[in-house]
Structure formats: structure tokens, C-alpha cells
Structure 1
Amino acid sequence: MGTEKTKKKIAVIGSGFSGISAAAYAAKSGNEVHVFEKLSQPGGRARQFTTENGYTFDMGPSWYWMPDIINGFFQDFGREAVDFFKLVSLDPQFEMVFSDETIGVPSKYDEIRELFENIEKGAGKEYDKFMQSAQFKYQVGMQEFVNKPCHSWLEFVSLKIASSALKLDLLTNFRSYVARYFSDPKLKALMEFPVIFLGASPKNIPALYSLMNYGGYALGTWYPMGGFYQLVLAMQKVAEDQGAVFHFDQTVHKINVKNGKVNSLIINNEEIGFDAVIASSDYHHTETLLSEDLRNYDEEYWKSRTFAPSCLIYYLGIKGKIDNIKHHTLFFENDLDEHVECIYGTKKWPDKPLFYCCSPSVTDPGVAPENCENLFLLMPLAPGIEDHEELREKYLKEMLSRIEQHTGTQDIFSRIEYKRSYCVNDFIADYNAYQGNAYGLANTLSQTAVLKPKIRNMKVDNLFYTGQLTVPGPGVPPSIISGKIAAAEVNNPKVKKYEKIV
């Protein structure tokens, strides 16, 4: 008889994408897995709520990019994403509104190429070259690079990564990289936009992340009918099918450690024993549940990090339709660098903001009452910034007036029949998010791979971290991958202690 693998009792703290992913993979390995969520439903930032007057709002993620990576999760469990929800390809993928014109990005590659050529002579060929390189980065980056636990740089000394090092453009910044291909400012803006999801200015993001352009523009922008929350529910079902048990309205107050190992958690004032813990809760917050001497990082470390933005979000139910609105619209009439400076430099509310508008009711009539519109507005902000109702309302009026100007639909403000805002203070209250950040740590070169917060606690053998503040970084597909990495680490007895924490 072979030796049976030891079954562990594992606690997962939090049920965002990384937590659900970690629970599914840990349970698949034969462990007893319990997920503890302080809120009353799964999903974390990707929760959904429905109003009494018939609107359904996704609270966070709305861009379904990298469908192959998301589907890879389901395939690991013998399923497909389409077993759970219907995916619709958006065409146009999105519109970008400039001060003098609006550009729609088509779903078909050849049409995007033609669009570029029409804007700038020769840009069609340059788009081919850019995307060929982006595809290579996507294949190496998303298959090899992001799946590493990042204990040491030695993990990256594989033949494929080493031989690809120059072609990955790790040391070139994204802005200068885009400028090699395109001169027109609008084309530059179109190509720089995807890395805004990574939480820093394009001049501070490695050119490696042109893989985002491939994962978005080339693989398409999709929408799961019923809303992004369908992905949360589908992943939860997969995890439960593996045996994971979800517990809601359960707040973890303390992580108890004995002889260098977690031995129990205090949950809703009750002590429960565990063999290992995977924390998908905010990394900084998780560490406050430990005594100071057992934390990976002190307060000075967190203060020295570059965080991705927080944001002001509005969920609006509008009586009547809005003419000419698309599913995704980016309002870029103002200068990107000026807004970015307000986030990372002066850390103030922007004078001339850029913002994003999602109207899923254009694609999915079920998220709004008949002849009504569902609007989700998002404006990036500096984390830790002053946040109060008057400021929120001021920017709501500005955003709506720009939507009116763009669409030619008047009096949107007066037709609001449901309104809810969400900002810095809410991110702190609901998610214990450090300084109210929305997207984790920025993917700058000095915060990439091994230079991110470690996925394992260096002083507590059986405590692991997952999610947007650790590897591989912010975004839905990276968070799903992060959960997979953390679950594998729980069963990896080879690694004990690593080099001194950077």
C-alpha cells in the first residue's frame, strides 16, 4: 500500500477571486477546506447587489479580459466557463472619448488594424509588429512568468524565460515602448490605457505588460450575461464541488501561533483549530492579526510601497434610455499624466479627471428595468485621500455632464432613480484595504515578481498569503492564478526559509 497524503484542515480568509481559487485547488488536493468571509456573500470586490426597483449592479470588476486564463481555472477541474454562464463578445470592445472625437475599438483584429492605419499612416503595420511582440510576452508571461511563487530569482532561470529575457522588455518602460511604434497621441492613449489596470503611470510600468494589449484587444472584450458576478458564483460552485465549505458573516479577529505554526483562528470570538491558513484578505490587514514579531513587514515597509489607485464609484439607475452609450466608455478628454500626477504625486482630487463608464444594460437587459439604463461610473483616485459626500457629489455631476455631452442625452441627473456611491472609506470598511486602495500594489519594476510581498510567512511555517498584494499582482486573472500558487505552496514541504525579505 502507498502512503496516503496527509489531509490538512485549511482555513481560507476571504472569498475574493484569489480566496475562492485557493479553496478550490486546496480542496482538490484532498484537504478539508473552510472559507471564512466577513461579508454576507462571496466575491469581495466583485460582489453584486440588486435594488428593490429592479437594478442589478456588479460592484467591482467589469472587464472580462484574458478569457483563456479564466477558462484555465475551470479546465483544471474538468469544466469550461461556458458550462456556467453565457459569454458575449462586445463590439465595439469599448469607446474612448477625446476632446475632439470618439474612437471605437472593434472586436475584429483586421478592423483594429485598419482603424490604426486610418489615424496614422503606417500604423497598421506597426500594430502588427506590436501585437506580435505582445503575443509572445503573453504566452511566456502568462504561462511561465506569473505561475512562479517568487521565493527567489532562481525560479526564473528556466531556459524559456532566460532565452526570452530581452524580448520580454522587462527594463523598458511602457510609455517609451509604445512610442517606438506610434506617434499619434490618440493611438498612444489607446495602447497605454490597458496598463492603467496595473496601477501606475505607463512611464513606470515595464513594457512586458504589453501582454495586456494582447489579452484585451486581440483576445477580445467579453461580458458574462447576468453580470461579472456569474464568474464568482461559478468558481464558488467549483470549489464546493471539491468539498470546500463557505462560511459567511464570519470575521477573523486573530491568528494564533504556537511553536512557529498557526494552530487556530479566533472567528466571531470563537477559537477554531487549523493545520494551515491561506489569507486572501488584505495582506497588511492580515499581518495585524499576528503579533508584531511574526509579521513579514513593518509599517514603514507598507508606507514605502507604491499602491495602485483607490477610486470613486457610482452605481446609478437611470429612468429612460441613454442614446449612443456603449457598454464600456473611457472619458479621456483631459490629460492622462495630469490625472496620474494627482494620484501619485500631489495626492489630491483631480482638477481635470478621466473616468470610466460601464453600461451593462446595453448588452444585458436583465440588469435594469425595461426602458431604463444601468450605469457604473469609476474615477481613479489617490489611496488614503480625503473622502466625503460633498466631494463625491461634485464629481458625479461633472461625470454626468460629460456623458450628456458625449451622448447628446440631456437631464440624466434628474432621471436618477437609484444612486449609491463607493469610495476610499468604503474600501477600508468592507475590505480592510490599506489606505482604501482598490487594486492592490502597482506593478512597477521595483514591485514585480520576487520584489512583491512574499506568498509565505517567513516566521510562521503554515501561513500563506494570496491576492492582489502578492504575486502575480492585481487583476482578475492574476488573482485566480495567485490562489492556485498559494494552494500549491501549502503542500510544498521542500521550501522552508528563503532569502532575507527585500
Structure 2
Amino acid sequence: MSTENIKKRIAVIGSGFSGLSAAAYAAKSGNEVHVFEKHHQPGGRARQFKTEEGYVFDMGPSWYWMHDIMEGFFQDFGVEADDFFKLVSLDPQFEMVFSEEKIAIPQKNDEIRELFEKTEPGAGRQYDRFMQSAQYKYEVGMRDFVTKPCYSWLEFASLKIAASAVKLDLLSNFRKYVSGYFSDPKLRSLMEFPVIFLGASPQNIPALYSLMNYGGYVLGTKYPMGGFYQLVLAMKKVAEQQGVIFHFNHDVRKINTDNGKVTSITIDGKDHEFDAVIASSDYQHTETLIPKSLRNYNNAYWESRTLAPSCLIYYLGVKGKIPHLKHHTLFFENELDDHIDCIYKNKKWPSKPLFYACCPSKTDPDVAPDGCENLFLLLPLAPGIHDDEATREKYLTEMIGRIEKHTGEADLISRFEYKRSYCVSDFISDYNAYQGNAYGLSNTLSQTAVLKPTIRNKKIKNLFYTGQLTVPGPGVPPSVISGKIVAAEVSKLKIK
């Protein structure tokens, strides 16, 4: 019997999407897997909370895109998403508000094409060309390119990937790519906005990521009834069906090593022995749990990285309905570049911000009391920026004012039945997030694939990292893929 096939005792630190995925796949391979989570519930940034008034808030992710990737996870375990929750398609998928008009993106692709043609003559045909190329990138990128452990560029030397290199547009920037298809600034904004989720300016994102447009617009925007947290619960259930054991309110304070190997982890002053550790906790924080001499990266390295944004979030329970607000609304009345420069160049609070509003009660009656609205507001920010209550409130007032203008409603603030804010300092205290980042590490060309922080500790052979600060990058589907990649590497690990 090979040593790779010996049952290993594996600890997974954190139960975000990458941790849930890693735990499920590692257990499926026949290992004994324990997940340690500092909070009282699973999900990490995708946790959920309920209020006394009857509101149910998803704390983080709210865009259910690339549902085929999520379905692939469940199919790997012989089940389907439908076994756990009901997924509905949103129509319109979302609405984008500009200074002079608003555009709603329909559910059906042919209707999106008609919308583009109406906005700019010839853009319908260009949309088809764009999405045809995006589909190719999606199918190659999400199934071949982003599934590598990224130890070496040689992993990408397969005939399929090599033959696809030019068509994947790895070296051209996304903004230039989009402008080659569309002239109308509104259409350009519609095509550029998805890469904001990747944590960088469209000028610094490889055109490969037009695959996001296909994974969103063409495959459609979905919503799991009961909230995004239903995906967390479903993945936890799958993991438990593989034998994974979850330990909540367990904060790992130290990773103990000896002779180049992890021997145990320390929780509440007690050491727990394991054959391997998978850290889905924040990468930089995880490395503070081991001696400096054993870390992959020093402080100077992290300071030199381009982080994805942090954000200001408000969870609001609103009495009465807001008739003209959609499930997803993007408020783009101001210049995208001005806001982006405040995140990546000037690192300050934006003077003319863009923001996103999610109102899931439009689709799901169970997330708010009868006749009320569940409102989630998100404003991207520079990581590491100082936040205080007065500043948060200032931006809340501005966001609400723009929602009132858009919907024709008046004095929404007086209708708040519940209010909670969440910002940079909260990401730090709750998730040990480096500089309070919300989305991990930006997917810039200089931080793609092999150029990302490695999934394996270079000096400790049985310590691995997963999640949005390593490959393949930020977002829910990439985090799920990240967990699968790392679980496969741990399964190859030889133990004595």
C-alpha cells in the first residue's frame, strides 16, 4: 500500500467556501478531516444573521454567477444543488443606473443583444462576437487554466492550453479589449463592471476575464431561495456526508512544527495533532501562526501586493416596500475611473462613489417581514483605509439619497427598522483579513497563476493554503475550485 493512500488526519482552518470545498474533497479521498472555525457558524464572509424584527441578511456574497461551477461541486459528490435549495433565475438580472438613464439587463440572451443594438447600432452583432470569444475563454479557462496548482508555468504547457494562448487574451488588458467591441460608454461600463469583483481596474485585468461576462450575462444571474447562505449549508452538508467533523468557536492560535513538518495546532491552549493542515484562513494571517523563518512571504512582500478592495456594507431593514428597486442595482452615475483611482492610487474615501444595492426581498419573501424590504448596500473601498462611524454614516446618507432619487421614494432613513454597518475594521477583527480586504488578492497580470502566493508552504511540507489570496483568485466559484485543487495536493502527500 502506497503512503499516499494511507488515511491522513487533516485539519482545515476556516469554513469559508474554500475551506468547505477542501474539507469535502479531502474527506472523499478517505481522510479524517476536522474543520476549525472561529465563529459559531460556517461560511466565513458568507455568513448569515437574523434580526429580532424578522430580517435575514447574507453578510457577503450575493451574486450567484457561474452556477455550472457550483453544480459541478455537487455532482462530484453524486448530488445536485436542487437537492438542497431552490435556485431561481432573476429577470432582469440587474439594473445599472447612470446619470441620465438606467439600463436593465434581461434574463434572455437574445433580449440582451437587442438592448445592445438599441443602445448602439451594430452593437448587437458585436455582443455576439464578444460572447462567442468569452464562451471559449470560459470553457478553457474555468476547466483547464484555473484548475492548476500553479507550482510552475510548465503546468500550462499542455497542447490545449498552448494552442489556446492567443485566443485566451492573456496579455491584453480588459479595457482595451472591451473598447475594441463597443463605443458607447454605457455599454462599456456594462461589460467592465464584472471584473470589479476580481479586484482591479479594467486597465490592469487580463482580457481573459471576459469569461466573467459569459459566466454572468449568458449563463444568467441566479438566486438561491433562503439566501446565499443556503449554498454554505449545502456544502457543509455534503462535507458532513463525507465524514467531515466541524468544530465551531474554535480559534486556531498557533501551528506547531518540527523538522519541516506540522505536528499540531493549538486551540484554547491545547495542542491537536494532525498529519496535514489546510489553511483557508487569510493567508497572511495564517503565516503569523508559524515562526518567521518558516513563512513563505515577509511583510514587505504583502505590502507590495495589489489587494482587491475592501468595502463599506450596510444591512438595512426597511418598513414598507420600495416599488422601483430591483433585486440587484448598480449605481454608476459617477465615473468608474474616479472611484477606482481612490481604491488603487490615492487610497482614500471616494468623493464621487459608485455603489451596489441588493434587495433580495424582491425575490424572496422569507428574508424580510411582510410588507418590508431587506436592503444590502455595498461601496468598494481601498483596503487599509481608516473607517469610523461618522464616515460610514456620511456615505449611507449619500447612498440612500441616490436610491430615493432613482425610485421616487422619500425619507427612507425614517423607515429604517434595522441598521448595521460593516467596514474595513470589521473585516480585520472578524476574518483577520490583511488590511481589511474583502475580496483577496487582485487578479492583475502580475498576480495571476504562478505569480500568486503558492498553495504550499515551501519549508513545511504538510502545510497548505487555499482561498482568495492564492490560486485561482477572488470570488465564490474560484474559492470552491481552490479548495478542490488543494485537497488533491494534500491527497498526494506522503506520510510516515
Bin of the TM-score, shorter chain as denominator length: over 0.9
* CA distance in structure 2 between the aligned counterparts of 1:17 and 1:187, rounded to whole angstroms: 32
State the partner residue of 1:291.
291
Partner residue, 1:65? 65
Per the TM alignment, residue 86 of structure 1 is displaced from its structure 2 partner at its CA by: 0.2
**Aligned residue type for 1:452:** K
Contact between 2:88 and 2:224, CA under 8 Å: does it hold in 1? yes
Unmatched runs of 5 consecutive residues or more in structure 1: 495-502
Q: 2:463 matched to 1:463? A: yes
Q: Distance in 1 between matches of 2:493 and 2:199?
A: 34
Aligned to 2:213: 213
1:499 equivalent in structure 2: none
Amino acid across the alignment from 2:328: H
Which whole-Å CA distance do the structure 2 matches of 1:221 and 1:318 have between them? Answer: 24
Determine helix, strand or coil for the equivalent of 2:325: coil
- Corresponding residue for 1:404? 404
- Tell whether the 8 Å contact from 1:339 to 1:353 is kept in structure 2 after alignment: yes
SS of residue matched to 1:473:
coil
Contact 1:328–1:356 at 8 Å: present in 2 too? yes
Quote the Cα distance in structure 2 between the aligned partners of 1:68 and 1:415: 39
Q: Is the 8 A contact 2:428 2:434 kept in 1?
A: yes
Aligned 1:327-476 pairs, distance under 5 A: 327-476=327-476
Aligned ranges for residues 46-61 of structure 1 at < 5 Å?
A: 46-61=46-61
Letter paired with 2:486: A
Deviation string 1:68-97 (CA, Å, 9 cap, x unpaired) is 000000000000011100001000000000
Q: Which amino acid aligns with 1:83?
A: D
Q: Classify the secondary structure of the residue corresponding to 2:180.
A: helix
* Aligned residue identity for 1:325: L
**Other-structure match for 2:164:** 164
The within-5 A match list for 1:271-290 is 271-290=271-290
User: SS where residue 330 of structure 1 aligns?
Assistant: strand
Cα distance, 1:492 vs. partner?
Answer: 1.8
Does the 8 Å CA contact 1:13/1:278 hold for their aligned counterparts?
yes
Which amino acid is 2:252 matched to?
A: V
Give the Å deviation of 1:5.
2.1
CA distance in 2 between counterparts of 1:327 and 1:463 reads: 41
- How far does residue 269 in structure 1 lie from its aligned partner after superposition? 1.4
Deviation string, structure 1 residues 110-161 (Cα, Å, up to 9, x no partner): 0000000000000000000000000000000000001100000000001110
Aligned mates of 1:222, 1:491 — CA distance in 2 = 33
Shift of 1:4: 9.0
* SS class of match (1:172): coil
Partner in structure 1 of residue 197 of structure 2: 197
- In 1, the alpha carbon distance for the partners of 2:437 and 2:354 equals 18
Aligned to 1:36: 36
Structure 1: distance between partners of 2:128 and 2:199: 26
| Equivalent residues in 2 for 1:106-145, closer than 5 Å | 106-145=106-145
Within 2, Cα distance between the matches of 1:2 and 1:429?
Answer: 43
> Is the 1:295–1:457 contact (alpha carbons within 8 Å) kept by the matching residues of 2?
yes
* TM-score, length of structure 2 as denominator length: 0.99
The CA deviation at 1:2 is: 9.3
**Do the aligned partners of 1:323 and 1:408 also contact (CA within 8 Å) in 2?**
no
Aligned equivalents of 1:3 and 1:427: distance in 2? 40
Offset at residue 382 of structure 1 (A): 0.2
Residue number in structure 1 paired with 2:246:
246
Root-mean-square deviation (CA, aligned residues, Å) is 1.1
Q: Distance in 2 between matches of 1:473 and 1:479?
A: 7
Deviation of 1:231 (Å): 0.1
Residues 8 and 276, structure 2, Cα contact 8 Å, conserved in 1: yes
Confirm or deny that 1:76 pairs with 2:76: yes
Q: What SS class does the counterpart of residue 103 from structure 2 fall into?
A: strand
C-alpha distance in structure 1 between counterparts of 2:39 and 2:115, whole Å: 45
Segments of structure 2 that go 5 or more residues without pairing to the other structure are none
| Cα distance, 1:447 vs structure 2 | 0.1
Q: 2:148 & 2:440 partners in 1: Cα distance?
A: 19
Give the SS at the match of 1:417: strand
The CA deviation string for residues 217-236 of structure 1, in whole angstroms up to 9 with x for no partner, is 00000000000000000000
CA distance in 1, matches of 2:330, 2:267: 42
TM-score (norm 1): 0.98
Answer yes or no: is 1:477 the counterpart of 2:477: yes
- The one-letter code of the counterpart of 1:40 is H
Write the distance in 2 (CA, Å) between the matches of 1:193 and 1:306: 19
Q: What is the CA distance between 1:213 and its match in structure 2?
A: 0.1
Matches within 5 A, 1:9-20: 9-20=9-20
8 Å Cα contact 2:4-2:493 kept in structure 1? no
The answer for the alignment partner of 2:227 in structure 1 is 227
Q: 2-side partners of 1:321 and 1:271: how far apart?
A: 52
In structure 1, the partner of 2:266 is 266
Q: What corresponds to 2:316 in structure 1?
A: 316
CA distance in 2, matches of 1:68, 1:305: 31
One-letter amino acid matched to 1:148? K
Tell me, in whole angstroms, the C-alpha distance in 2 between the residues paired with 1:408 and 1:464: 52
AA in 2 matched with 1:39: H
Give per-residue Cα distances to partners, 1:285-342, cap 9 Å, x unaligned: 0000000000000000000000000000000000000021100000000000000000
Specify the code of the residue in structure 2 equivalent to 1:356: Y
* d(CA) in 1 for partners of 2:331, 2:161: 37
- What secondary structure sits across from 1:181 in the alignment? coil
Give the CA deviation at 1:491: 1.6
Aligned-pair identity (%): 76
Q: Distance in 2 between matches of 1:454 and 1:31?
A: 23
CA contact (8 A) 1:138 1:211 kept: yes
Residue deviations 1:345-403 (CA, integer Å, cap 9, x gap): 11000000000000000000100000000000000000000110000000000000000
Structure 1 segments of 4+ aligned residues over 3 angstroms from their partners: 1-4
SS in structure 2 at match of 1:264: strand
Once residues 47 and 415 of structure 2 are traced to their aligned partners in structure 1, the CA distance between those partners, rounded to angstroms, is: 26
1:4–1:318 Cα change, 3 Å:
closer
Does the Cα contact within 8 Å between 1:174 and 1:204 map onto a contact in 2? yes
Whole-Å separation in 2 of the counterparts to 1:190 and 1:345: 23
Q: Which amino acid aligns with 2:325?
A: I
CA contact (8 A) 1:257 1:263 kept: yes
Residues 462, 493 of structure 2: 8 Å contact kept: no
CA distance in 2, matches of 1:443, 1:20: 23
Q: Secondary structure at the match of 1:178?
A: helix
Relative to structure 1, is the Cα distance of residues 344 and 4 closer, same or farther in structure 2, using a 3 angstrom cutoff? closer
Find the counterpart in structure 2 of residue 256 from structure 1: 256
Amino acid in the other structure paired with 1:231:
L
What is the rounded CA distance, in whole Å, between the counterparts of 2:336 and 2:5 in structure 1?
Answer: 53
Secondary structure at the aligned position of 2:175 is classed as helix
- Tell me, yes or no, if the aligned pair for 1:443 and 1:473 is still in contact at 8 Å: yes
Shift in Å, 1:174: 0.1
Q: Answer yes or no: is the 8 Å Cα contact 2:320–2:415 preserved in 1.
A: yes
